[in-house]
Amino acid sequence: MTVRDPVCEMEIEPRRAAAMMTHEGRAWYFCSERCRDKFAANPGIFINEAPAMRLTVGVMGSADNQQMEEHRRLARALGNTIAGEGMILITGACPGLPYECAVGAHNNKGMSVGISPALSLDEHVHKYLSPSDAFDVIIYTGSGLMGREVTNIRSSDIVIIVGGRSGTLGEFAIAYDEGKLIGVLEGTGGITEQIPGLEASFGKDTGATVLYDGDPQKLVSRLVEHYEKKQYRRPSCFCDEVMAAGG
């Protein structure tokens, strides 16, 4: 897949771009730092010269409704921040902290996508007892609670962990093994308190980067900055291996 540099209109592969930056939540790729700097100086001149997809941020966390109010507040602030950056929020369309995050995004007029374990809205609401009122789109996977976790992670450019128990731990493990950029919102309880020790014990380089912060705005800002500088070069992609295997 190639994209077009909005300044010089050169076709480039995203992961081999010389530079990239986000603007209003969209990812722009450049053949050189010079083109990036020209874009950054006056984006309005160039944003209509090439299409650009919006970055997606997957928020994974505790799905039960017995959450401390402070944890709920932090989750809502996180959703509000993601929406304010113009990025698309992805959650498991479940109750608890991911729902609070979706509410925060909704309140800031952001786009929120729920990846449901159910086959339909009826099953989503009545079998899984999950909300539907804070989402712009719900994707019904029919994969069950565990099966939809891979879809959650692979649909997200950036993954953020908020609170969480065993299910969220599984999502963190998938994201880590697949080399994702991961944020941990500290101060939200659950497995967020255990992840530093787990990360230190893994002993393998998957390409994943884990950033920690207790301030939702600072965490999102740091994640976006890291994505712009480094992570866009390391997508979850086995293209080179496939090409080599094909001769």
Beta bridge partners of 28: 21
Beta bridge partners of 190: none
pLDDT of residue 220: 98
Residue 244: the pLDDT is: 38
Residue range 164-183, pLDDT digits in tens: 999 999 999 999 999 999 99
pLDDT for 234 equals 84
pTM score of the predicted model: 0.93
Distance CA 107, CA 73 (A): 13
The answer to whether residues 135 and 116 touch, using CB atoms and an 8 Å cutoff, is no
Q: Where are the domains of the chain?
A: 3-53, 56-232
Residue 245: its pLDDT value, please? 39
- Residue spans of the chain under pLDDT 50: 241-247
Q: Which long-range contacts (CB under 8 A, 24 or more apart) does 125-131 make?
A: 128/94, 129/95, 130/93, 130/94, 130/95, 131/93, 131/94, 131/95, 131/99, 131/102
CATH dotted code for 56-232: 3.40.50.450
Count the Cβ atoms, other than its own, within 10 Å of residue 13. 11
Tracing tokens 């969220």 back to the chain, one arrives at 168
User: What is the structure's pLDDT at 64?
Assistant: 86
